[in-house]
A = this chain, B = another copy of it.
Amino acid sequence: MPEQHRRLASPSRGASSRSRAARARQIADVLRHQITSGDFPEGMLPDESTLGKWLGASRNAVREALGLLGAEGLISRRQGVGTVIVMPKYGHGMNRLAGLAETLTGYGTVTNEVRAAHFVTNPPAVIAERLELTRSAGAVYIERLRWSDGLPLSLDTTYLAPDVGRLLLSCDLASRDIFALIEEMTGERLGRADVSVHAVNAGPDAAVLLDIPAGAAVFAVERSTRLHDGRPVDVESIQIRADRMAFNAVLHRGVGPAANQLQGSRS
C-alpha cells in the first residue's frame, strides 16, 4: 500500500488550508459521535445548511467534514436523495466472554461460511506454546467468514487444542458458535479469556473476503481462551469490519473492577 504511506507534506500546506482541515475534522468528530450514537434513526442526515446551523459551521466546512465521513465509509452522498448513513454499527460489549454470535442475538441472523476446518500436523510454534502443547500434538484449524444481514462482518481464524478441536469437526460450524460448541462437546465451562483489540489496515486478502477496500480500517482482535480449569483450548485472530462494529463500555471511576458495569448496545 505505497499510496497510504505517502506522508502529507505539512510545510507545503498554507495556514488557511490547515485550519480549514482542522475545522472539518472537528465537525466530523461531532457528526461521527451523533451517527454512532443513533441520533439519526431514519438513517439520513439533514441538509448541509441545517447541519451548518446545528454545528455553528459554514457549509464549506460541513461539506469537507461529510467528505471525511464518506471516506470512512460511514455515510454516502446520493444524488437527489441526500446524505445516507451507510449502515448502523453493531455494538459489541466487553462485558463477558461471549462469542460474537451470542452477542449479536437480536441483531439479525449471523451465519458462518466455513472456509477451513481440519487438523494441522505442524501448527505455528507460538500456537502450540499458547495451547501449552508440543508442536507435534498438532491442532485443529477453523477459518470462518461471518455474515450478518447478508454482508460479511468478520473473518475468524481459530486454532483449537486437538482433542477439543476434533470433537468440533463433526459439528454444525456453519450456524453454531464455537464457544457454545466447546462447552457442549466437552461438558466443561469456559473460564478466562485474554483479549487484545487492535486497529489495523485490512490487508488485500482480508479486504477481498470482507468486501471492503484494501487498507480500510478493521479491528484485529486477538483472543486466547481457557477452560474453567485453566487449560488453554482456543487461540483466535478475528478481523472485524469497523464500519459495522464498535466496542462499547460503561466505565466507573475510582472503584475496583468488581463495580464495573460493562455492557453492549447497538451504537
Residue of B nearest to A97 (CB): B253
Known: A199-B199, A201-B217, A222-B33. A193 touches B253 (CB 8 A): yes
The main secondary structure of chain A at its interface with chain B is mixed
Q: Is A7 an interface residue (CB 8 A)?
A: yes
Residue on B nearest A214 in the bound complex, by CB? B8
Whether A171 is near chain B, meaning CB under 8 Å from some CB there, is no
Nearest CB in chain B: distance from A216 CB, A = 7
Q: Report if A197-B200 is in contact (Cβ < 8 Å); known contacts: A8-B214, A124-B56.
A: no
* Residue A21 interfacial (CB < 8 Å): yes
Q: Is the CB of B249 within 8 A of A94?
A: yes
B91 contacts A196, C-beta separation under 8 Å: yes
Closest residue on chain B to residue A36 by CB atoms: B196
Report the interface size for chain A: residues with CB under 8 A from the other chain: 99
**B residues within 8 A CB of A127?**
30
15 pairs, A vs B, C-beta closer than 8 Å: A6-B214, A24-B205, A27-B124, A28-B203, A33-B222, A37-B222, A72-B203, A95-B260, A96-B252, A96-B255, A96-B257, A189-B254, A201-B216, A201-B217, A262-B262
Residues of chain A whose beta carbon lies under 8 Å from any beta carbon of chain B: 1, 3-8, 10, 13, 18, 21-22, 24-30, 32-34, 36-37, 39, 53-57, 68, 71-72, 89, 91, 94-98, 120, 122-127, 143, 157, 179, 189-201, 203-208, 213-220, 222, 235, 237, 242, 246-255, 257-263, 267
